[in-house]
Amino acid sequence: MAFKTILAIIQSAEDIKRVTGCAAGLAARFDSHVIGLHSEALPIPYTSTIGFPDAEFIQASTEVNQQRAAELESEFRKLAASAGLSFEWRSLESFSGDSAHGGIGSARCSDLVIAAQANPHAESGSSPDVDALLFEAGRPVLVTPSEGPCLSSFRRIIIAWNGSREAARAAFDALPFILEAVGTEILLIDPPETADPAAAGADIAAALARHGAEVSVHTENSRGLSTDTVIRNRLAATGADLLVLGAYSHSWLRELIFGGVTRTVLQSMPVTAFLSR
């Protein structure tokens, strides 16, 4: 399956080149239609000291928001047109002003969503709430790292595998990337000795290989390290440039089982991540 409709979540000017550049690279390979989406906050009904709506403040806020949205649209259109893409722009308003929240409806009708990882150095509110996309849209999300190269083609892939529904969904959703890669590694961290073949990685490796993928299985002992640290170390050791991961909910049980890796990926994983649930 190719990614024919790609939604690019544009929350701020920082996202334009990273997210749109990644979308353009994918669209060129898969002959995709790219939708750029940005959401601005609705003006807060601020009141004056005498209790009446402050019309001047509301008007000024509206103008600032409209100007920012127009600038982002202009830059997106310029980049998309220069890349020869089939594209469109969607400008929305919402109470949160978060493009991820505003883009959930569009994401549900897309093959792939691309969003930027939270930038720890950016001002508050300039990063989209990717959690909302993962847990509400029902579509895979490609998260571009805030630092380091922003890629749209991947040579070496690691699939963090524990035999769960979410991990299986992510692995098969990522097939277009896996089939292009030089190699894909099924990474198991501290698997129980009594694990069945599905949990141990043998079945998923065989299933992906039948599609024509080059797949291997690797087991790591955490030795007391956190799961996300083990994954980071393995990414560095293998030179992998894409992490495929099942996105887990934030219940205490899920966090206990998988160590809260989803949150780490969204905040600080050094490579591009493909998440699905």
More confident residue, 57 or 156: 156
Q: Say yes or no: 86 and 54 in one domain.
A: yes
Most confident of 120-134, 171-185, 223-237: 171-185
Q: What is the mean pLDDT of residues 219-234?
A: 91
Q: What is the mean pLDDT of residues 5-22?
A: 90
The strands making up 183-189's β-sheet, listed across from edge to edge, are 86-94, 33-41, 5-9, 112-116, 141-144, 272-276, 242-246, 156-160, 183-189, 215-220
Q: Say yes or no: 175 and 106 in one domain.
A: no
**Residue 160, exposed/middle/buried by CB under 10 A (0-12, 13-18, 19+)?**
buried
Q: How confident is the model at residue 148 (pLDDT cuts 50, 70, 90)?
A: confident
Q: What is the mean pLDDT of residues 180-194?
A: 90
What single-letter amino acid sits at 243? Answer: L
Last residue of a domain, one of 144, 165, 195: 144
Asked whether the predicted pLDDT for residue 61 surpasses 60, the reply is: yes
Domain of residue 109, CATH code: 3.40.50.620
Kindly report the average pLDDT of the chain as a whole number: 84
pLDDT of residue 51: 55
**Count of domains in the chain?**
2
Residue numbers of the domain that contains 222:
156-276
Helix (H) or strand (E) holding 156: strand 156-160
Asked whether the predicted pLDDT for residue 189 surpasses 50, the reply is: yes
pLDDT of residue 126: 57
Last residue of a domain, one of 144, 170, 196: 144
Q: Say yes or no: 59 and 98 in one domain.
A: yes
Q: What does the alpha-carbon distance between residue 236 and residue 58 come to, in Å, rounded to a whole number?
A: 50
pLDDT of residue 247: 83
